[in-house]
């Protein structure tokens, strides 16, 4: 398949070929290299999250990392008003609305992935937000027509093969070298809470180093691609704090705008000046690598974290666990590093 271009427009021509059966079909549009990298990572995330929860899952991807991910769940009045979505919307629409609400600034121009067929309600929401494309296991009647009209007819619509299983071996060629490794399909540990499971699934498909904060089946903040793990926590925590502050912006200041993006931009601007009257609670955190120092726990506690899942195995793991105990944070050691590059 010929692509529009590679990672950058000057990297052309570019193409992609399936090793065997293709994992998706192009329903509409012409993908770029980055579109497909985002799509296949996002699809794996929602497929895994849905299988682990038994409900619809959605993700908003930008630059090979999730800006947000969520399971179908309740939509609060703030989110419903900003995105113009009925709180009683179908499950897949609620899942994506919650995912995009994590960090709507970063989701601008995203690749969308959902674990269930796209409904008319979801197509209508996507019609009104800035997005580059979507991958889904199917489309209800009329949904493709709505989506195909986006971006002057260039919106990318992919249909995932829900039965596709990738090869056990991954191969990458860079700078004259061929890298070969086993695909990371290790199962997550049993006995995890729903939030820790979603956090670990999301962190698994984010660029390392990465940390994800989750509450009530939706991400609140994703800190990905940082060299320092404590910076990952600060980034995810800052996004989580802003998510919380957005709950306290006066609706009349936001809902008067017709455009979703105008409502989002106004809400973000006003939220930055608000100090939340109530602290966040019940937040779960997953880290793709071991938390190496106690300052990671101190930072996490500031953002309402009460449960942490991380691989363990650091030379200071005992000190980190003791710091968590002092802050009233439970620790789950998974023994499973989830780096992704």
Give the separation between CA 96 and CA 100, rounded to whole angstroms: 6
Q: Which of 28, 35, 62, 239 is catalytic?
A: 62
Q: What's the chain's Rg over C-alpha atoms?
A: 20
Q: Are strands 57-62 and 110-114 parallel, antiparallel or unpaired?
A: antiparallel
Within the chain, what is the greatest distance between any pair of CA atoms? Answer: 58
- 62 part of the active site: yes
The angle at the Cα of 334, spanning 205 to 62, to the nearest 5 degrees, equals: 15
24 token code pair: 């998706």
Residue closest to 287 by CA, chosen among 234, 235, 213, 341: 213
Cβ 217 vs Cβ 197: under 8 Å: no
Backbone angles phi, psi at 133, to 5 degrees: 180, 175
- 307 part of the active site: no
297 token code pair: 């726990």
- 239 part of the active site: no
Q: Is residue 177 classed exposed, middle or buried when 0-12, 13-18 and 19+ CB atoms within 10 A define those classes? A: exposed
Cβ 303 vs Cβ 143: under 8 Å: no
Cβ 49 vs Cβ 73: under 8 Å: no
Q: Which of 209, 239, 244, 296 is catalytic?
A: 209
Q: Which of 63, 151, 265, 327 is catalytic?
A: 63
DSSP bridge partners of 296: none
Q: Known catalytic residues?
A: 62-63, 209, 341
């Amino acid at each position: 398949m010929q692509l529009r271009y590679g990672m950058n427009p000057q990297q052309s021509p570019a193409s992609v070929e399936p090793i065997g059966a293709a994992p998706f079909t192009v329903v509409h549009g012409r993908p770029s290299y980055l579109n497909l990298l985002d799509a296949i990572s996002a699809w794996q995330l929602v497929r895994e999250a849905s299988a682990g929860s038994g409900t619809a899952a959605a993700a908003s991807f930008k630059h090979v990392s999730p800006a947000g991910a969520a399971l179908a769940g309740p939509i609060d009045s703030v989110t419903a008003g900003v995105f113009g979505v009925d709180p009683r919307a179908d499950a897949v629409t609620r899942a994506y609305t919650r995912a995009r609400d994590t960090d709507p600034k970063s989701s601008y121009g995203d690749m969308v992935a959902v674990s269930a067929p796209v409904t008319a309600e979801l197509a209508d929401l996507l019609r009104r937000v800035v997005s580059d494309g979507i991958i889904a296991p199917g489309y209800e009647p009329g949904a493709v027509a709505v989506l195909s009209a986006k971006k002057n007819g260039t919106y990318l619509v992919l249909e995932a093969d829900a039965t596709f299983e990738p090869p056990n071996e991954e191969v990458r060629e860079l700078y004259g070298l061929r890298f070969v490794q086993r695909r990371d399909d290790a199962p997550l540990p049993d006995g995890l809470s729903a939030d820790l499971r979603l956090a670990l699934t999301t962190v698994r498909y984010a660029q390392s180093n990465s940390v994800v904060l989750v509450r009530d089946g939706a991400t609140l903040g994703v800190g990905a691609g940082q060299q320092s793990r404590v910076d990952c926590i600060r980034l995810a925590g800052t996004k989580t704090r802003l998510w919380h502050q957005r709950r306290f912006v006066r609706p009349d200041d936001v809902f008067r705008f017709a455009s979703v993006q105008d409502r989002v931009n106004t809400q973000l601007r006003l939220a930055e000046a608000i100090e939340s009257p109530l602290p966040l609670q019940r937040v779960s955190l997953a880290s793709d690598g071991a938390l190496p120092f106690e300052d990671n726990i101190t930072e996490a506690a500031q953002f309402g974290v009460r449960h942490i899942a991380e691989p363990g195995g650091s030379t200071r793991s005992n000190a980190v666990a003791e710091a968590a105990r002092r802050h009233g944070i439970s620790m789950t050691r998974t023994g499973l590093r989830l780096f992704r590059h």
